[in-house]
Copies of this chain bind each other. A is one copy, B any other.
Amino acid sequence: MRTRPLKVALLGCGVVGSEVARIMTTHADDLAARIGAPVELAGVAVRRPSKVREGIPPELITTDATALVKRGDIDVVIEVIGGIEPARALITTAFEHGASVVSANKALLAEDGATLYAAAEQHGRDLYFEAAVAGAIPLIRPLRESLAGDKVNRVLGIVNGTTNFILDRMDSSGAGYSEALDEATALGYAEADPTADVEGFDAAAKAAILAGIAFHTRVRLDDVYREGLTEVTAADMASARRMGCTVKLLAICERAADGKSVTARVHPAMIPLSHPLASVREAYNAVFVEAEAAGQLMFYGPGAGGSPTASAVLGDLVAVCRNKLAESTGPGESAYSRLPVSPMGDVVTRYHISLDVADKPGVLAQVATVFAEHGVSIDTVRQQGKDGEASLVVVTHRAPDAALSGTVEALRELDTVRGVASIMRVEGE
């Protein structure tokens, strides 16, 4: 074994960074044995240098992250700051100065992964980011490597723990969205500003990363259709239950049936209780991958948290250090397929639509005509009358989303339709 240590710079020392530093110290012998050389924490860039950081020698702490990545003796930079800047500038600077990079930064990778990949390749460095998607669950490496000889057709999963916690609470207790969000916040599952989670930005970033890797095509955050869960109501959840379903916020990346385009989207959807994703509780994540030869695979585990995310970071650290010792690099960007990313309107899906209608003869016929005019075939209708008003619950067969949303718009125009109480896609069947 080489005795000269590989030097690691840690950018960010919050929940994940401090856990990475802790494990690097407590498991130093194991890491050395697995890498073939010791690894040494050579510097830790933080914003608040005065904060006491247990186990980290104070002389390693710096507020000058740029100077740290420019030192020239750093072998690997671990970036757990998050956000676009200064993370992007620090990562590209690190590549320029001889370091490989392990990052957990989903937002940056989804926004501008291509720039990072290009910089890594230009300087012959590694860019690894298992921790960016679904915490400790191995997903990037299986997609990038294990399935490299297969053709992935679909990735479908729960990739945001906060929203899964909220929906699980709504499902199990009948709580409304606000109440469930309050509980998630109180228990530390939701941040003070939950926007990134509840509006689906976090899941959409992960969908972009997964789609890009799965389909060997560049997919950016802007390419991902996104709906959060703030409009999911207790009534929607109850309606899902009546259908033998529950509601999950899903990230879905699909290759079109003709293979010539792909789509990526994040939205709440009803899935049957018999589907394995329906039983993913609390803040857990789970991702289905469908590949031509492999069939259907599922990966499940804790999708966030300091320790699980640190596990993923350290797995990448070992890989990157091994590559460094072997003077090689792991797989870089694979975007050779260059498939276009189709808009949401082209996605083939199913709708569950709940309408408040006038309780008089002929309404169902009118409604059914609108569906037919848009080429949307109806699977089931449930009609319920109450005091001169009635509700109609329609579940469609599969149709392009544009036709489905066009149908809903036309339904709103009908005099006999008093309102559209809820619309939700149905997946996983």
Chain A interface residues (CB < 8 Å from chain B): 19, 23, 27, 30-31, 33-34, 130, 135-138, 141-142, 145-151, 216, 276, 279, 291-302, 305, 307-308, 310-319, 322-323, 326-329, 331, 334, 336-337
B residues within 8 A CB of A310? Answer: 149, 293
Which residue among A130, A310, A313, A318 has the maximum number of chain B CB atoms within 10 Å of its CB? Answer: A318
Provide 21 A-B residue pairs closer than 8 Å at the C-beta atoms, listed in order of the A residue.
Answer: A23-B150, A30-B151, A135-B294, A136-B150, A136-B293, A138-B138, A141-B145, A142-B146, A146-B312, A147-B311, A148-B314, A149-B310, A149-B318, A291-B311, A294-B301, A294-B307, A295-B302, A295-B307, A296-B301, A298-B298, A299-B299
Cβ contact within 8 Å between B136 and A319: no
Given A307-B293, A318-B148, A328 contacting B331 (CB threshold 8 A): no
A146 touches B151 (CB 8 A): no
Instruction: Tell me the complex Cα distance, A218–B291, Å.
Output: 33
Which residues in B have their C-beta under 8 angstroms from that of A27? Answer: 149, 151
Q: Which of these, B31, B135, B137, B145, contacts A318 with CB under 8 Å? A: B145
For A313, give its contact among B149, B151, B300, B305 (CB under 8 Å): B149
Flag if A301 contacts B302 (CB, 8 Å): no
A307 contacts across to B, CB distance below 8 A: 292-295
Within the oligomer, what is the number of copies of this chain?
A: 2
The closest CB in chain B to the CB of A141 belongs to B146
Contact partners of A328 in chain B: CB under 8 A: 323, 326-328
The 6 A-B residue pairs with the shortest CB-CB distance in the complex, in nearest-first order: A149-B314, A136-B294, A138-B146, A328-B328, A293-B311, A148-B318
User: A381 to nearest B CB, angstroms?
Assistant: 32
Residue of B at shortest CB range from A307? Answer: B293
Quick one: closest B residue to A288, CB to CB? B300
